[in-house]
Structure 1
Amino acid sequence: MSALLDDLAILPASDQAYEIHYQDDVLLIVSKPSHLLTVPGRHPQNRDCLISRVQREFPSAQVVHRLDYDTSGLVVLPLTKKALSEISKQFQARTVHKEYQALVTGQVPLAGEIALPIAADLDNRPLYKVCQQSGKPSLTRYQRLHYDEEQDVSHVLLQPITGRSHQLRLHLAAIGHPILGDTLYATGLVAQAANRLMLHAWQISFNHPLTAKLLKVALPPPFGR
């Protein structure tokens, strides 16, 4: 897959609307549906995205972090320069606590950590790969919430301690438990097992940029038990 083809890839935007789950004078927390970019893509047909939709109603909204096109869940959007700066500092300091939920193939251990370095796969853009030589240190903590023996599917809670691109889906695939519906890192029946990537950013918490009080918002995934 060439870089040119990657740049020109057309990603159809979901018709599902975003929803506001927290709002005040300086920030929003909204839910992004699966199959929607967080920011505009390079192709002219990829201009429809979460931030462009939000800015129609909130022109000052800015992006401080992103979710993959395939991933659904909560996104924080500052409304002022001060809020953007303060929340950016928390992301850089890794004090923002994020949790995801996913459905993966196989019986995952009850709990554990995945510490595998991640690098861009230059021969297969836009993919990433586990690489001991050039990869950046990456850490994911996980907990199994439920195992469906009949379907051989685990419902897992995920905490990305680092925030590498494609970290959760790559880490899970690397230990033999790819996410259902993952057309990038899963193959065959696992990739075809769902009409979307079964990964959802369900909870986020950080200190409010003005009051410094802990702000926590949760949104259960549209899948699970």
Structure 2
Amino acid sequence: MELSIQLPKKFKEQTVRELLEQEWLVPRKVRHFLRTRKNISINGETALFHFPVKSGDIVTLQFEPEDYPTPTILLGNKLNIEVLFEDEHLIILNKPIGMKTHPNQPDEQDTLLNHLAAYLSPKNQIPYVVHRLDKETSGAILFAKNPFVLPILGRLLESKQIYRRYQAVVSGKLKESLTIRKKIGRDRHDRRKRVVDERRGDMAVTHVDVDSYVKKSNQTTVYCVLETGRTHQIRVHLKSIGHPIIGDPLYHPNPVGRLMLHAYELHLVHPFTGETIVAIAEPSLW
């Protein structure tokens, strides 16, 4: 695998070592091989770790197969893929409702990851999961297209530099916008579910903005923005304040129809180009 990346305009001058270690999070073992094999070049010239790199430079890295082991993913059907954004490093898809993000068993091949693998196969690329959406949730979801960018996108997610905005329809009248800060843990009685658990759970923060209320159906439409990414976070948080999401098979007492939760927007600054990427997953819930 060979990657050539042109450093963006606002790039701060630093050494090759700093770039690989601090900016691009290249594992120590892989950095060692890049150095000993002399598999790094700047603007076409072989570079050493103490060489400086600056804005506009083209940095080329040559990896061997053993540097990043290739995962085995069964190929699905590429026709199940709807692309919202794509370049050589990452891809954002519009996930359909009722489809798992990735396999839980090695013989599964009807998940979004399988279908994406089929889509990328002619390009000799393999997808890597950055984050996930529940099976019942639709909308924008991000994947890496090579193992090199995966930890960089993971860091952006952990440091809250990837903005995710969800649409939801809940039971009852939610009178005002609010922020829910409640710890979430596993339900000891049902392994499929999560519960608010202030003693054993992990902190989760969800910002909820009220959009509109329909008196006839007694339902409120809202937007939710995540600060954290716990399993079932929005679903558990909204239930905990007495407003479960319509159609939720796990957390609504009378689920009817689809789960009314949709990942409508995903924003991030591209880690290599500095470009701001805004992906909108249409159609929306309303």
Shorter-chain TM band: 0.7 to 0.9
For residue 66 of structure 1, give the secondary structure of its aligned residue in structure 2. Answer: coil
Equivalent pairs: percent with the same residue? 30
Equivalent runs, 1:78-157 vs 2, <5 Å: 78-157=144-223
C-alpha separation between the residues in 2 aligned to 1:177 and 1:200? 16
**TM-score, normalized by length of structure 1?**
0.86
Q: 2:117 is matched with which residue: 47, 55, 68?
A: 55
**Following TM superposition, where does structure 1 have runs of at least 4 consecutive aligned residues deviating by more than 3 angstroms?**
none
Q: Mind listing any 5+ residue stretches in structure 1 that lack a counterpart?
A: 1-15
* Corresponding residue number in structure 2 for 1:21: 84
* Corresponding residue number in structure 1 for 2:248: 182
Q: 2:143 is matched with which residue: 63, 77, 82?
A: 77
For residue 252 of structure 2, give the secondary structure of its aligned residue in structure 1. Answer: coil
**Structure 1 vs Structure 2 CA RMSD:** 1.7
Amino acid at match of 1:55: A
Query: Does 1:42 find its partner at 2:108?
Result: no
C-alpha separation between the residues in 1 aligned to 2:164 and 2:283? 14
Amino acid at match of 1:203: E
C-alpha separation between the residues in 2 aligned to 1:109 and 1:63? 37
Which has the greater radius of gyration?
2
* Corresponding residue number in structure 2 for 1:11: none
Q: 2:267 is matched with which residue: 196, 205, 219?
A: 205
For residue 67 of structure 1, give the secondary structure of its aligned residue in structure 2. Answer: coil
Given that 2:144 and 2:150 are in contact with CA atoms closer than 8 Å, whether structure 1 keeps it comes out as: yes
What is the deviation of 1:179?
Answer: 0.4
Amino acid at match of 1:31: N
What is the deviation of 1:221?
Answer: 4.4
Given that 1:206 and 1:214 are in contact with CA atoms closer than 8 Å, whether structure 2 keeps it comes out as: yes
Give the length in aligned residue pairs: 205
**TM-score, normalized by length of structure 2?**
0.68
* Corresponding residue number in structure 2 for 1:218: 280
Which structure would you say has the larger RCO, counting Cα contacts within 8 Å and 6 or more residues apart?
Answer: 1
